[in-house]
Amino acid sequence: MPSVGLGTWQQRDARTVQRVVAQAVDMGYRLIDTASAYRNEAFIGSALADIFSDPHSSSTREDIWITSKLAPKQHGYDRTIAAVNESLENLQTDYIDLYLIHWPGVSGKAPGYPGHRAYRESSWKALEDLYRSGKVRAIGVSNYTKRHLQEMGEYAEIPPMVNQCELHPLFPQPDLLQYCKSNDIAFTAYASLGEGALISDYEILPELQDVSAARPDLTRAQTLLLWGLQRGAAVIPKASTVARLKENLEILVKKPLSERELDTLGSIPAQRQKHFCWHAASVS
**Dihedral of the CA atoms 274, 68, 104, 131 (nearest 10)?**
-140
Instruction: Tell me, letter by letter, the H, E, C secondary structure of the chain.
Output: CCCECEECCCCCCHHHHHHHHHHHHHHCCCEEECCHHHCCHHHHHHHHHHHHHCCCCCCCHHHCEEEEEECHHHCCHHHHHHHHHHHHHHHCCCCECEEEECCCCCCCCCCCCCCHHHHHHHHHHHHHHHHHHCCECCEEEECCCHHHHHHHCCCCCCCCCEEEEECECCECCHHHHHHHHHCCCEEEEECCCCCCHHHCCCCCCHHHHHHHHHCCCCCHHHHHHHHHHHCCEEECCECCCHHHHHHHHHHHHCCCCCHHHHHHHCCCCHHHCCCCCCCCCCCC
**Is-contact 73 45, C-beta < 8 A?**
no
What is the set of active-site residues? 38
Strand partners, 81: none
d(CA 4, CA 65) in angstroms, rounded, equals 11
For residue 178, the number of C-alpha atoms closer than 13 Å in the C-beta half-sphere is: 4
